[in-house]
Amino acid sequence: MEIRVLKYFLAIAQEESISGAAEVLHLSQPTLSRQIKDMEDELGKQLLIRGNRKVTLTEEGMILRKRAEEIIDLVNKAENEINLSNETISGDIYIGTGESDALRVIAEAAGNLTKDYPDIHFHITSGDTVDITENLDKGLFDFCILWGNIDTSKYNYLSLPMKDRWVVIMRKDSPLAYKPYISPEDLYDKPLILSRHSLAEGALNTWFKTDPSKLNVVAEYNLVFNASLMVDEGMGYAVSFDKIINVTGDSNLCIKPLRPELEIGMSIVWKKYQIFSKAGEKFLEKLNEIL
């Protein structure tokens, strides 16, 4: 399977048309059709459903589209790093992070670095632990921020000096809003909105002091802002990190700390044996200086 043909396939998926993709790619329609048919024969799977006006992807085609996008991203990233592997300090740095006040230290390092090297560009992608570690493992991120214990068999890391504190986000008119803090027992009979990885994270699991299957989890989230909208609409109580959602002014929401208080440390992480671009090396140096 050639990179060139993968790009052809992605163009068809984007245009939803072989003729439209052929025009974009400056190829004849028969040539493009033959290339895609050869790829289908090679894989032994139909990738496209060819209609009168547009083509749609089969289930196998959708899988290939996702993987092809990742492959092309990695190829482009490699080409950029190789082209910039001379004395010029420039290039792109990709960082994955959850929603956390810890991003401030990353922003400080990035800001200081770009003052010295204005041709370095940062790409910050938000997601939960599941999303960002998957992309780190695939090589799509150079660094990511992770919480709790780090798998040192896979990653190198720098511990960050701050910690995130767990809180509960609720409506100001909710039955628990009058309480100065929230205990595990307060939440046992309440509808909960939790992040995908929160109960897998040992500290929060221990804090609840009960079997997670007995909790009334009505929804899961990967971005806290989405969780806050669900809370605002009366779906339940969201357990999240502090300092992310603004509840000042005319907000319908309020934030209550946990009791006993629960905090979690965090680290910036990269793959073991990773070879950084010069931009990546400089970022790591700057981060070490700040820390």
What is the C-alpha to C-alpha distance for residues 291 and 72, in angstroms, rounded to an integer? 35
Contact 230, 193 (CB under 8 A): yes
What is the C-alpha to C-alpha distance for residues 104 and 240, in angstroms, rounded to an integer? 18
pLDDT digit string (tens) for the chain, length 291 residues: 788 888 888 888 888 888 888 888 888 888 888 888 888 889 898 999 888 788 889 999 899 988 888 888 888 777 776 665 555 678 899 999 988 887 889 999 999 999 989 989 999 998 888 888 988 998 889 999 998 889 999 999 999 988 899 999 999 999 999 999 999 999 999 999 998 777 666 678 889 988 888 899 999 998 899 999 999 999 999 999 998 899 988 999 999 999 999 998 899 999 998 888 888 989 999 999 988
Looking at residue 148, its pLDDT comes to: 85
Query: Over the Cα atoms of the chain, what is R_g?
Result: 24
Q: Which residue has the tokens 């050869």?
A: 38
Which residue in 54, 59, 64, 62 sits closest to 20, CA to CA?
A: 54
What is the C-alpha to C-alpha distance for residues 137 and 107, in angstroms, rounded to an integer? 23
Looking at residue 79, its pLDDT comes to: 75
Alpha-helix runs per DSSP H in 48-151: 59-83, 103-116, 129-137
Q: 87: which 2 tokens?
A: 């004395």
Q: Find the farthest-apart pair of alpha carbons in the chain and give their distance in angstroms, rounded.
A: 70
Which residue in 76, 159, 62, 67 sits closest to 123, CA to CA?
A: 76
Distances (CA, A) of 79 to 137, 199, 275, 277: 19, 40, 14, 11
